[in-house]
């Protein structure tokens, strides 16, 4: 790279460095604190450990052990998985099918129906809580996994459908013509052509929806908050803050347990954001 170009990018790099610094420092503080004993946390700052980071003896895993067992975060972690994964999968699959139908199948009232679905994005979910909860209780879905799966799927569908629609409707028409001539039924075209091509969109919608559900407290609290066997991490951490607000070593450890999966999901799927799999199918 030539010097002028490098100089031109200099402000951008400084800006990025500042942002990274502002984000990393508190996170690092959180991470280090979560490995320290309660006594040390209250007597010295986390940064004092930095000059002798190599000294492993000053750190402990006890905090993680405590929150995972005694405070029930282990169970809550499992619950979070049981809630997030199915809810996300169901809503992404339903949204893809719906988007495909709205984009490529011919039926009466297609546009109106699609507009209706998209319009649902502006309905605040709060106004639906009481009627939905009442209905759920009556049919035995209150405080159950299927209940919250259904709730998350429903609240997520307008946006996920919209996102998938904008991608799927952009697939060249000729691919569908070609598939029809090749003998592919609409459903087989969906599974064999649309889904594989939509992997980048699916991945981004999946991440989006997964993180949303994983971080959600409100819906979880409303639908399963009263059932600890089913309640996810967010509810458990919120309870922890209420019950053990002074125990920083527990709160920081809990925070990290909550973060691990989203970070992992993001890094494992992020390449799909970048790669345009469509390149090469049609001359553009």
Partner 1 sequence: MAEVRLLDITKKFGNFTAVDDVSLEASDGEFVVLVGPSGCGKTTTLRMVAGLEDITQGQIYIGDRLVNDVPPKDRDIAMVFQNYALYPHMDVYNNMAFGLKLRKVPKKEIDQRVRNAADLLGIGDKLRSKPRELSGGQRQRVALGRAIVRDPKVFLFDEPLSNLDAKLRVRMRAELSELHERLKTTTVYVTHDQTEAMTLGHRVAVMKDGLVQQYDDPQTIYDHPANMFVAGFIGSPAMNFLDAQVVGEDGKFYVQGKGFKLLIPNEKATDAVKDYAGKEVVFGIRPEDIRAPEMMREPREEMQFPGRVRVREPLGDEQIVYADISGDDIVAKLDPHLPISHGQDITLEAVTERMHLFDKESEEAIV
CA distances from residue 90 to 26, 79, 85, 109, 154 in whole angstroms, order as listed: 35, 17, 9, 25, 10
Contact in structure between 171 and 194 (CB atoms under 8 Å): yes
Contact in structure between 283 and 232 (CB atoms under 8 Å): no
Q: Please, what is the minimum distance in Å from the beta carbon of residue 57 to partner 1?
A: 53
Q: Please, what is the minimum distance in Å from the beta carbon of residue 283 to partner 1?
A: 5
Q: Which residues bind partner 1 (CB under 8 A)?
A: 172, 174-175, 177-184, 188, 192-193, 196-197, 199, 277-283
Rank residues 174 and 229 by Cβ distance to partner 1 and give the closer one. Answer: 174
Rank residues 103 and 220 by Cβ distance to partner 1 and give the closer one. Answer: 103
Rank residues 188 and 243 by Cβ distance to partner 1 and give the closer one. Answer: 188
Instruction: Please list the residues that pair with 282 across neighbouring strands.
Output: 279
Q: Please, what is the minimum distance in Å from the beta carbon of residue 33 to partner 1?
A: 46
CA distance 152 to 66: 30
Rank residues 3 and 276 by Cβ distance to partner 1 and give the closer one. Answer: 276
Residue whose tokens read 């639908």: 223
Q: Hey, is 101 helix, strand or coil?
A: helix
CA distance 153 to 101: 18
Rank residues 134 and 281 by Cβ distance to partner 1 and give the closer one. Answer: 281
Rank residues 1 and 279 by Cβ distance to partner 1 and give the closer one. Answer: 279
Q: Please, what is the minimum distance in Å from the beta carbon of residue 180 to partner 1?
A: 5
Q: Please, what is the minimum distance in Å from the beta carbon of residue 108 to partner 1?
A: 15
CA distance 175 to 165: 16
CA distance 161 to 117: 8
Residue whose tokens read 């490995």: 35
Nearest residue to 88 via CA among 225, 185, 237, 212: 212
Q: Please, what is the minimum distance in Å from the beta carbon of residue 96 to partner 1?
A: 15
């Amino acid at each position: 790279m030539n010097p002028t170009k490098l100089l031109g990018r200099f402000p951008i790099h400084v800006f990025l460095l500042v942002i990274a610094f502002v984000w990393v420092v508190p996170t690092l503080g959180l991470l280090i604190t979560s490995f320290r004993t309660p006594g040390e946390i209250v007597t010295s700052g986390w940064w004092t450990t930095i000059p002798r980071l190599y000294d492993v003896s000053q750190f402990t895993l006890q905090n993680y052990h405590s929150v995972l067992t005694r405070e029930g975060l282990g169970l809550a972690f499992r619950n979070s998985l049981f809630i997030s994964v199915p809810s996300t999968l169901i809503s992404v699959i339903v949204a893809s099918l719906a988007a495909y139908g709205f984009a490529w199948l011919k039926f009466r009232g297609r546009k109106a129906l699609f507009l209706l679905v998209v319009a649902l994005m502006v309905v605040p979910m709060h106004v639906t809580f009481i009627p939905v909860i009442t209905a759920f209780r009556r049919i035995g879905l209150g405080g159950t996994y299927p209940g919250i799966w259904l709730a998350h799927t429903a609240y997520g569908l307008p946006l996920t459908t919209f996102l998938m629609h904008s991608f799927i409707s952009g697939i060249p028409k000729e691919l569908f013509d070609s598939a029809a001539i090749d003998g592919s039924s609409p459903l087989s075209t969906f599974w064999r052509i649309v889904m594989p091509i939509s992997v980048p969109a699916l991945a981004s919608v999946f991440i989006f929806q997964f993180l949303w559900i994983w971080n959600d407290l409100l819906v979880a609290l409303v639908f399963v908050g009263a059932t600890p066997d089913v309640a996810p991490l967010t509810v458990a951490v919120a309870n922890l803050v209420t019950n053990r607000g002074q125990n920083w070593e527990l709160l920081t450890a809990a925070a990290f347990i909550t973060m691990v999966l989203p970070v992992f999901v993001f890094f494992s799927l992020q390449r799909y954001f970048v790669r345009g799999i469509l390149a090469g199918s049609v001359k553009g």
